[in-house]
Structures are given as C-alpha cells and as structure tokens.
Amino acid sequence: MMTEQLPENDSNLDALLNRQFAGKVVRKDLTKLIKEGANVPVYVLEYLLGMYCASDDQATIDAGLVNVKRILSENYVRPDEAEKVKSKIRESGSYKVIDKVTVRLNEKRDVYEALLSNLGVKNAEISDAYVRQFEKLLVGGIWCIVTLHYRFEENQKGSPFLVSDLKPIQMPNMDMPGLFEGRKAFTEALWIDALIRSTGMEPSCFKDRVKWHLLARMIPLVENNYNFCELGPRGTGKSHIYKEISPNSILVSGGQTTVANLFYNMAARKVGLVGLWDVVAFDEVAGINFKDQDGVQIMKDFMASGSFSRGREAISANAAMVFVGNLPQGQTVESLVKTSHLFRPFPEVMIDSAFFDRFHAYVPGWEIPKMRPEFFTNQYGLIVDYLAEYLREMRKVNFADAIDKWFKLGNNLNQRDTIAVRRTVSGLLKLICPAGDYDKEIVRKCLEYALEVRRRVKEQLKKIGGMEFYDVHFSYIDLEDSQERFVSVPEQSSGALIPDGRLAPGALHTISMGTSEMPGIYRIEIQTIAGGGKVSASGAAPREPVRVAFDYFKANSARVSASIKPGEHDFHLQLVELKNAGAPQSFTLASFIALCSAALGRPVQSQMAIMGDMSLGGTVVQVRNLAESLQLAFDAGAKKILLPMSSVGDIPSVPGELFAKFQTSFYSDPVDAAFKAIGVE
C-alpha cells in the first residue's frame, strides 16, 4: 500500500517545492548526474544548476544542463588538465575558472597571494579588498568563480598570474520572510521530507526515527556553539553534510591539528577555524591528535563557554563542534554498552568526563542504515546553497524557551543537561518551524528527542566518571496534567550482564576494583572433576588469590558442610572479565564462595553480586568505592547484593534510591558469606 502512495507524495512534494520556492529548487538526480563526472562540492554544482535548471519544464532543464556541462567542461579545472588551462590563460590574457581558492599573506612582498587548488597556481596576486570581504579565503579556502589575468614582465618577483575578479559560489542574499511564507504550505512531515531531500537523501526510504537522526545532523548548522557527536558503522554518510552540503562548514579530517590552526595563531594574531566557520567538524575522531599539550584543554574551554584564552587575549567564537567517527570494527553496540562505553573510539587523551560532559547530543549512528544508491533522491529539493543560507540565518534566533510554555524538566537534569536539552530543542524547532509557529506536540517530540540524545552522553559519563554522574533518569513534566514522563535510551536496556535465573553450581558474579582503578564486573566459573584436591586457574584469574581461597576452603570446608570432601576432587577456576576494567583487585572471597558452591553442587542465588574480600586468615576486607560498585551492579542487572559488615559505615555515601533497588545481605566472615550466597541451611 505504501509503495502505491509514494509517487503521489513525491509529486505532491515536488509540486509544492516548485510552487513555493520557484527558482530555488533543483532536481537532485541532475546533481548526481553531473557530480559523478566533476569532483566539485554539491553546493558548487547546484549553484550552477539553480542558475540554469531551476524549472519543472523538461525542455528548460535539458537546455540548462547543456549550459552547466559546458561551463564545467570549459571553466572547472581538472587537476590533470591544469597545464592546458594555464596555457589558455597565457594565450588569451585572461580566463574564467571554477576552483577552490586559498589565500596567504606574503610578508616579504607585503601582498596577498592566492593558491588555486586544482590549477596548481600557488602565488597569484589578489587584491586586499577580496580578502577583507571574504575572510574565509585565509582559512580553509572557498570555491569561487575566478577571472585570472596573465602578465609577464622581465625580472618580476611574483607570479605572472593575477586574480582580477572573484565571486564566491554562494547565494548573494537571503529572503527569510519568503522562506517563512513558503514553509506555511507544508505539513510538518512534508517539510522534514523536503529538508532531507535537500541534503540529497530520499526520505521515503527511511523510518521516522532515522529521519530525526538525519535532521539532528543539521542542528550544528543552525545552533551556535553546539557540541555534537555521532559514532556509528562505516558508510552511513556521517560527514557528508559537513563536507558537501554547506559552504559554511569545514571538515577537519582525522590527524594532527594545532591550537594555532583551530583557535588562535599568536604569531599572526589571527583567529583560527572556530572564528571563521559556522561548523568545525572532525572526521574519524580516533585519529584526532593535538600537537600542543594544551589543545584538549582549550577545546574544553571553548565547548563550555564559546570563548577561550590565548596569551592575553580572550576570544569568543560561534562555531559548533562536531565529532563523527566509526565504532570499533567487529564490536556491536550491545557489547560496547555492556563491557565499555560508547565514547571508546576517541583518542586516549580525550577520554575525560569533563570533556564529554560538554557534548549536547550523541546521535546513535548505528541506527542509520549504510548508504545505498536508492537512498539518494531523484526528486526536487532546495538548492543546497539556499538551504545553507537559510540555516545560517537561523543562527541569529533562539527558540530555547519554547519548552517553558508547556513543559518543565525533571529534577535529575543538572545545569549542563538543561542547557544541552534546550539547545537541541531550539535547533530542531529552527529546522522544522523556522518562523517560530510551533505547537505543543512538535515541542514535545523535539523535547523527547533532545532528552534522549543528552541522556546517551550522561549514560557514558556514568561509566567513565562514576557516581558524579549518577542522575541519568531524565524526565519532563507536562504542565497541563502534571504527569512526569521518563525518557529512556534504547540501547541501554539491551540484555543485562547478570542474567535472570540461576547459574550453574560454581558460577557467580563479583564486583571489584580493577587495575584501571575503575570498578569491574567479573564472572567466576568452576569445573569440578574427580581427583586429589588440586586447583588450577585460567582466563584473567590472578593465581595468588585463587591459591589463598583454596587453602582457606580446604581448612574450613567442614564449617560450611560436612558433605564437602576437598581431597577427592580437582577444581578448575576460570575468570571472565565482563567490563574492561583490568584484573580484579579483590577476588579471594568470591573464589572461596564459588569453590563451596561447586563442591556442594548448589548454585548461588540468582542475580546476586558478591562484594568484599578476605585475607589468608579469613579477615573480611571492606568494599572500595561502594557507591560506584553498587551503581555498576544495578546497571549490570543485579537484584541482590552480598556485602561485608565492615562496609555498613559507607552506606550513607550511596544515594538512598539506589540502595533501595537491592535486596542486601551482610556477612561477618567468609563462611557466613558462603551460607548467605548459596542459602545453605
């Protein structure tokens, strides 16, 4: 049934776009058609297509296409034909080219010199007026239609090439009232489809939830100082929008970068990328590497406040920071959630809770399907340059207060969470309702999405930074009915590490501080065979605690049960590390209980986590970092906790609502612990 409706919807949306935005739309298959033959950004192509093919009349389109192809074949410089074009410029005296132009100051000659990327001309003289007018020429460069002159003189110091005229490939002006008026003709769903189509994607191929993710990718383009993260599999088009769609964003490919390039060059007294672009996007986050030691610190500073200090200067900028990258190959999201955290692809120097806390949103890139040919649209969409200018204009307004009219945020959100949620809501509303004519339901949808993408950040922070980030149960209150509604994160509920139901005898879960100084969760499994009273260990198990536990077990097994005969069996213990925390620091007591369980052939209680440790003489050792360990136990699916009496004094450090989640048993010595774990009468 859906397939029958699609063509009608398509033509409906096409007709609407052509009627409301005449001259500002283009058929996206034309872009694809030419894109394959010319390696220019989409906004360059569509600038030309908008000039010659903005029509739904096929004859006009065909004639326009001929013009565009002619301009590209004559004026677009292919790197392999650079010498031929240089010769043309020399022979005719001047010539018009389409190329990416970057400018630098030649201090020795006190002139600005242009580098034309494809043409390979490195030092063509350019007027100061163009540099003052288009500052981006100095940082990163912009695509332009350039008229080059050739003037050769004897003994001249500079290049014979001169830039006599330069026109950036961008729209000259933006009629925002016209856009607001045009938007009124669309329903919310149709407008979202129109936006997605304008970026080159076909919305009818995606589920509603994926459409929201694609929309979220555009928030950094409309929201100042927005910090956005998207990690997912390869080939889902994460960097496409920042590289191809907007001339106002720059994509920094993974690799070494400097504070001077990104923020401020002290020698040249020039602001870096963050001052000149609306969006600075980092591709392949795993490869980000700062040459300067204070790089990450300055980035943290900027992401928190939109300003940074360099020398004596305090500099403000509005750039949004975008981090996109790939999840580790061969690892599913489910296993990452269980064993590590979703920020793992970031370089070691950046894995810091204070850095990630500044992220306003984490979009689940793994929910977006890998791009296939049919995902790219053949229908009409806004010319990307018009889209980019609209998005840029929207940076001047703010809809962060839209929430307050109908909703209130729950008490688990701190100041940073509140700012993040408000910014995401504001960004989504700027995209969906640019004129500010939003209603309660659309604000609700934006709010629920904003709470989810911020909670995803918070859930990972909880794993990295522990109890400081305990409050993750995000909610909002509808002012009309005073009902509190909680917002969850889909991947968080995917299967617990401590499963429901009884384990085999000799198997149990324990929580201990690992060598990484973070609490880890471990599963012990013991196999019993007939033998002469020996023990062996494999997996991540440290040998010494196992030997100590076995010695205590042989000496005290009769206190647990007269039926245990340690000298008649051999025991093989395996330790499985379920969370990347390193080898456990407390392991002896859990090994002793597991040996008792295996020898008796009785399982420990279901969904129980054992904490605490013991010495060789049987003295009980209290739990380190009780609050964080209990939080980990809860996240892993534990319902029962076995704690030493000596940890009672630490219970006030645990939030009351967390402690109340467990059925807690206390033990005074190792034998008591074994009784309570196994339930021996």
pLDDT for residue 4 is more than 50: no
- Higher confidence at residue 135 or residue 236? 236
pLDDT digits (tens, 9 = 90+) for 316-328: 888 888 998 888 8
pLDDT digits (tens, 9 = 90+) for 241-293: 888 777 788 888 766 677 777 777 666 677 777 777 888 888 887 777 777 77
Tell me the pLDDT band of 240, cut-offs 50, 70 and 90: confident
pLDDT digits (tens, 9 = 90+) for 292-345: 777 778 888 888 888 777 767 777 888 888 998 888 876 777 777 766 778 888
pLDDT for residue 670 is more than 90: yes
**Residue 607 gets which letter from DSSP?**
T
Q: Pick the most confident of 6-15, 607-616, 649-658.
A: 607-616
Report H helices in 320-414.
333-339, 353-356, 384-394
Average pLDDT of the segment spanning 225-242:
87
Q: What is the rounded CA–CA span in Å between residue 408 and residue 422? A: 11
pLDDT digits (tens, 9 = 90+) for 63-87: 888 888 888 877 888 788 888 888 8
pLDDT for residue 499 is more than 70: yes
Tell me the pLDDT band of 2, cut-offs 50, 70 and 90: very low
Q: Tell me the percentage of the chain whose pLDDT exceeds 90.
A: 21
Q: In what order do the strands lie in the sheet with 483-486?
A: 407-409, 475-478, 483-486
| Other Cβ atoms within 10 Å of 56 Cβ, number | 15
Tokens 């192509």, residue? 45
Residue 614 Ramachandran class (φ > 0 left, ψ -120 to 50 alpha, else beta): beta
Lowest model confidence (mean pLDDT) among 231-240, 448-457, 604-613: 231-240
- Higher confidence at residue 441 or residue 343? 441
- Higher confidence at residue 552 or residue 39? 552
pLDDT for residue 439 is more than 60: yes
pLDDT at 268: 66
Beta pairing class for 640-644 and 608-610 = parallel
Burial of 370 from C-beta contacts in 10 A (0-12 / 13-18 / 19+)? exposed
Cβ pair 584, 483 in contact under 8 A: no
**Residue 376 gets which letter from DSSP?**
B
pLDDT digits (tens, 9 = 90+) for 198-208: 888 888 888 99
Tell me the pLDDT band of 681, cut-offs 50, 70 and 90: very low
Q: Which of 171, 177, 181, 190 is nearest to 379 (CA)?
A: 190
Q: Which of 229, 322, 233 is nearest to 282 (CA)?
A: 322
Average pLDDT of the segment spanning 644-652:
90
Cβ pair 633, 511 in contact under 8 A: yes
Report H helices in 134-207.
176-183, 188-198
Q: What is the rounded CA–CA span in Å between residue 211 and residue 192? A: 8
pLDDT at 3: 33
pLDDT at 6: 36
Amino acid 74 reads: E
Average pLDDT of the segment spanning 135-151:
83
pLDDT for residue 376 is more than 90: no
**Residue 245 gets which letter from DSSP?**
I
pTM: 0.71
| Other Cβ atoms within 10 Å of 557 Cβ, number | 22
pLDDT at 57: 72
